[in-house]
Amino acid sequence: MLIKQADDLRYSDITPKSLYFNRRRFLAGVPAAFLGARELLSPSARARAGTTKLTAAKSPLSTTGEKITPEDDVTHYNNFYEFGTGKEQPADLAKNFKTSPWTVSVEGDVAKPRKYSLEDLMKVAPLEERVYRHRCVEAWSIVVPWIGYSLSALLKEAEPTAKAKFVAFESLYDPKQMLSPFQAGIPLPYVEGLRLDEAMHPLALLTFGMYGETLPPQDGAPVRMVLPWKYGFKSVKSIVKIRLVSGQPPCTWNEVGANEYGFYSNVNPNRDHPRWSQRKERRLGEFGKRDTLMFNGYPQVAGLYSGMDLLRYY
């Protein structure tokens, strides 16, 4: 019998106690018909059900020289607690997620608040394809060709007032389509936040697609954030509200466990998670581990945090 040694274990092999009990509650509370059997389709077909092609120019802001992670790995290993606490569950449980019609409200401390249809939102700026590294706090990472435009284009159109210092995001929560907060193990709707200068950085990508098509449901359809220098939980999915505010907004994981999930959540290999090291990471689809890079290898954002204690403000 082959017994895994500690050095061979992936962090995803180790189930935190809180998630273990959440999964038991989830399985007890979700009807068997909702869990269902997987469709008799390939992973790519399941991932792409209902998606459409997107045309986007290649962006000079892309990461270069790294192999893109296979699409099936990215679309079938997700954190999306509204559709399950297991990594494989969202691809199945979100497949019938209805994302049309869709509205995103931009409001708060802005001169020009507005509610955007998805179609209008996608026309604010030209779409670009950007290949970004994207790292999860659980110490796994991916390289994905995302499609979108810099969030700054939308914020500039809204004209932030002098009071605006932060940007608060809110995901859709529809109890008819999603799990209950009890089943998900977190408060819902999911909320996130950034400092305004972080949100205005060109790398902060308002994202509508990946791998040349619109986002599949389990990856945050129809619109999400991708911040390549931050841990993955900052990349809020299925956005319905963007609000500019004067004070630091609440963030779901920071509220649930502030000792594990900081407001800034910058990738910092020197700041360990309380339950594991952040110095190494495992790229999905690959064997072995690689060194984790400060800011996930995006030094162009370092100036945003000049003078800050990045062990404290992580």
Residue 49's pLDDT band (cuts 50, 70, 90): low
Q: What is the pTM of this model?
A: 0.85
- Note whether 99 and 193 are within 8 A (CB): no
Q: What is the SS3 string spanning the chain?
A: CCCCCHHHCCHHHCCCHHHHHHHHHHHHHCCHHHHCCCCCCCHHHHHHCCCCECCCEECCCCCCCCCCCCHHHHHCCCCCHHHCCCCCHHHHHCCCCCCCCCEEEEEECECCCEEEEHHHHCCCCCCEEEEEEEECCCCEEEEEEEEEEEHHHHHHHHCECCCCCEEEEEECCCCCCCCCHHHHCCCCCCEEEEEHHHHCCCCCEEEEEECCEECCHHHCCCCEEECCCEEHHHCCCCEEEEEEECCCCCCHHHHHCCCCCCCCCECCCCCCECCECCCEEEECCCCCCEECCHHHHCHHHHHHHCCCCCCCCC
Which pLDDT value is given to residue 9?
A: 40
Which pLDDT value is given to residue 140?
A: 97
Mean pLDDT, residues 172-188 taken together: 97
| pLDDT per residue as tens digits for the range 135-158 | 999 999 999 999 999 999 999 999
Residue 246's pLDDT band (cuts 50, 70, 90): very high
Which pLDDT value is given to residue 51?
A: 85
Which pLDDT value is given to residue 97?
A: 97
| pLDDT per residue as tens digits for the range 232-243 | 999 999 999 999
Which structural domains are found in the chain, ordered by start? 6-305 (3.90.420.10)
Residue 48's pLDDT band (cuts 50, 70, 90): low
